[in-house]
Structures are given as C-alpha cells and as structure tokens.
DNA sequence: GCGACAG
DNA sequence: ATCTTGTCGC
C-alpha cells in the first residue's frame, strides 16, 4: 500500500486513503470486519459464531460479539454458505441495529468468494445479504477449473518469492478466480484471496496485504482466536447458547 | 462409477 | 472444522 493519489484514480477504488486527498469524495477505509464460526470439540452442531471489527490500518479490535448457535445443515463442499451464512448475517444485523457507527466498511470472510464452482461462495453470499463489500479468504485451495493442490504447488507457490508476493489463480478456461498471497516472509503456504462482493481483486489484494500481521489476515484471525476463547470461557450444556 | 472437496 | 506432540525461535 503506497497510499498514492494514483491508486484512487481507479474507478473501482472504493475508498480514499487520506480523507483530504482522495479527491473522489470517498470516505477513507477505517473499519474492517472479520467473521468466523468455531465448533465445540465433540458436538458437530454446537458452535460459536463471531464478528469482530478492527481499525484500519492499525488492526486494533474495536468491537467483538459472539453467539452460540446450533448448525442444522451438514458441511458439503460448495454449499458452505447455506450452513453458516445466516448466523453471520444475524451478527451483522445486531451490530447495525445497536451500534451502526461501528459497522465495518469491508468484511473479511473465512471462506471463498467467487473462487467457487458456481462463482458464489460464502463471502459473496454474505456480502449480498448484508450489502457490505467482502473479501474471501481461503486457507486451503478449493478445486475448481483445473486449479488444485498440484497446480498451486507447481505453478503458483514457486512465484511467491517474498513476503507480499501474489500470483493470480487462472483456470484452464482462462478465467481469473482469485490470487495466492504469501502473507509473511516465513509463510510457505499462501492464503487464497478472492472477490466476495463489491470489490475488485486488485483492491482485495492490496487491502489484504495491509491486514496481514500473520499468515491469516488479522480480522479473520481475531474472529477465530476470540471465538475459540469464548468457547473455552463458556462451557456448554445442551449444545446451544445458555 | 470413482475420487476430490472452502469450513 | 477438530483430533494431537514435539519442536524451532523470539
């Protein structure tokens, strides 16, 4: 992120970098969200849905909320959104009703956006439902259009020579599905970025790089860490919130 | 039909 | 997602 005026000349740029110099009347990006769902050890249905909001680019947590939920649908690759999205929407609706001033301008999701068989993964699904831009973050590659672990290992990872390096994920059809990012110097395994909703891949990449203090972008990482902490601090009885 | 498969 | 020991490093 160089914060130059040039990057803001891109019509797809959603936010300015300096409130007084973006030159487009766009508000600067100041609040980014992260969502995740952590599961209880033995019970495959009991889980904790979490939403955190961090200041950008400082990456300090300014809001957190958790909700014990009971998953009804099973996990089926390609259908993750149907299993988890409603719980995430509920958390955002609550924030919008109680503290709208803290609503994130962008949400990092622990799941893919358009990097999906039908081009509409959890990140895209959530973005549309809450009408907020989203970026999909995958920790493992989701096989689609010829892009698989073998392809990533032989054609993508070798290109990631340094921290911050990215390589677009292009399928055999020629379609651009997302990008692999080496988020830190020691991260041999990249994270996979894909457009969720109302953002371009190039901007998603720039913002994600700025949000990485560790391999996993801080918003998603904090949502994960804190939801697990919540489960440790709140023993469950019958499996649902109590 | 068989195998692979985000979280 | 979760199951799990040790280990390298700040």
Q: Which nucleotide is nearest to A111 if distance is taken from CA to C1'?
A: B6
Q: What is the mean pLDDT of residues A96-106?
A: 98
Q: Which nucleotide is nearest to A137 if distance is taken from CA to C1'?
A: B6
Q: What is the DSSP string of A148-208?
A: -HHHIIIIIGGG--STT-EEEEE-TTS-EEEEEE--STT--S-EEEEEEESS-HHHHHHHH
Rounded distance, CA A94 to CA A151, Å? 41
Q: What is the mean pLDDT of residues A11-15?
A: 45
Q: Which nucleotide is nearest to A139 if distance is taken from CA to C1'?
A: B6
Q: What is the mean pLDDT of residues A220-238?
A: 87
Question: Is there contact between A227 and strand B, defined as CB under 7 Å from any strand atom?
Answer: no
Residue A12: predicted pLDDT:
36
- For residue A36 the two structure tokens come to 């995740």
Residue A26: predicted pLDDT:
75
Residue A8: predicted pLDDT:
33
Q: Is residue A220 part of a domain?
A: no
- Mean of the per-residue pLDDT values for chain A? 88
Residue A17 has pLDDT above 70, yes or no: no
Residue A186 has pLDDT above 80, yes or no: yes
Q: Is residue A202 part of a domain?
A: yes
CA of A80 to C1' of C4 (A): 26
For residue A171, the domain's CATH number is 3.30.2170.10
Residue A2: predicted pLDDT:
39
Q: Is residue A117 part of a domain?
A: yes
Rounded distance, CA A134 to CA A113, Å? 8
Residue A89 has pLDDT above 90, yes or no: yes
Q: Please, what sign has the CA dihedral across residues A92, A98, A99, A100?
A: positive
pLDDT tens for each residue of A62-81? 999 999 999 999 999 999 99
> What Cα–Cα distance (Å) separates residue A38 from each residue in A87, A117, A127, A173, A190?
12, 24, 20, 35, 22
CA of A186 to C1' of C8 (A): 13
Q: Which nucleotide is nearest to A136 if distance is taken from CA to C1'?
A: B6
Q: Is residue A230 part of a domain?
A: no
CA of A16 to C1' of C2 (A): 41
Question: Is there contact between A112 and strand C, defined as CB under 7 Å from any strand atom?
Answer: no
Residue A242 has pLDDT above 70, yes or no: no
Question: Is there contact between A139 and strand C, defined as CB under 7 Å from any strand atom?
Answer: yes
User: CB–CB of A54/A98 below 8 Å?
Assistant: no
Which residue's alpha carbon is at the shortest distance from the C1' of B5?
Answer: A77
Q: Is residue A232 part of a domain?
A: no
pLDDT tens for each residue of A135-179? 999 999 999 999 998 898 888 888 998 899 999 999 999 999 999
CA of A184 to C1' of C10 (A): 16
Q: List the strands of the sheet with A31-39, edge to edge.
A: A61-70, A46-55, A31-39, A106-109, A134-138, A191-197, A176-181, A166-170
Q: Is residue A235 part of a domain?
A: no
Q: Which domain holds residue A72?
A: 6-214
Q: Which nucleotide is nearest to A227 if distance is taken from CA to C1'?
A: C1
Q: Is residue A219 part of a domain?
A: no
Residue A241 has pLDDT above 80, yes or no: no
Three-state SS for A46?
strand
Q: Is residue A221 part of a domain?
A: no
Q: What is the mean pLDDT of residues A21-35?
A: 83
Residue A170: predicted pLDDT:
94
Rounded distance, CA A63 to CA A12, Å? 28
Question: Is there contact between A196 and strand B, defined as CB under 7 Å from any strand atom?
Answer: no
**Total domains, chain A:** 1
Three-state SS for A23?
coil
């Amino acid at each position: 992120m160089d914060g130059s005026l040039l990057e803001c000349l891109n019509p797809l740029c959603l936010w300015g970098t300096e409130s007084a110099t973006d030159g487009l009347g766009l508000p600067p990006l100041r609040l980014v969200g992260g969502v995740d769902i952590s599961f209880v050890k033995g019970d495959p249905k009991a889980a904790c849905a979490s939403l955190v909001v961090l200041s950008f680019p400082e990456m300090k947590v300014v809001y957190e909320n958790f909700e014990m939920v009971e998953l009804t649908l099973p996990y089926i690759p390609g259908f993750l959104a149907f299993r988890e999205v409603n719980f995430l929407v509920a958390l955002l609706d609550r924030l919008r009703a109680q503290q709208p001033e803290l609503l994130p301008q962008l949400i990092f999701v622990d799941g893919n956006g358009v990097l999906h068989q039908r081009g509409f993964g959890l990140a895209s699904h959530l973005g549309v439902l809450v009408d907020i831009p989203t970026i999909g973050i995958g920790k493992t590659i989701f096989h689609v259009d010829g892009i698989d672990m073998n392809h990533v290992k032989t054609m993508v990872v070798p290109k990631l020579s340094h921290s911050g390096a990215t390589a677009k994920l292009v399928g055999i059809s020629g379609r651009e599905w997302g990008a692999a990012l080496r988020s830190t110097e020691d991260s041999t395994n990249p994270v996979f970025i894909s457009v969720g909703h109302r953002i371009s891949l190039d901007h998603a990449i720039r913002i994600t790089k700025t949000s990485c203090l560790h391999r996993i972008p801080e918003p998603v990482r904090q949502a994960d860490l804190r939801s697990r902490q919540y489960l440790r601090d709140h023993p469950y009885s019958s499996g649902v919130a109590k």
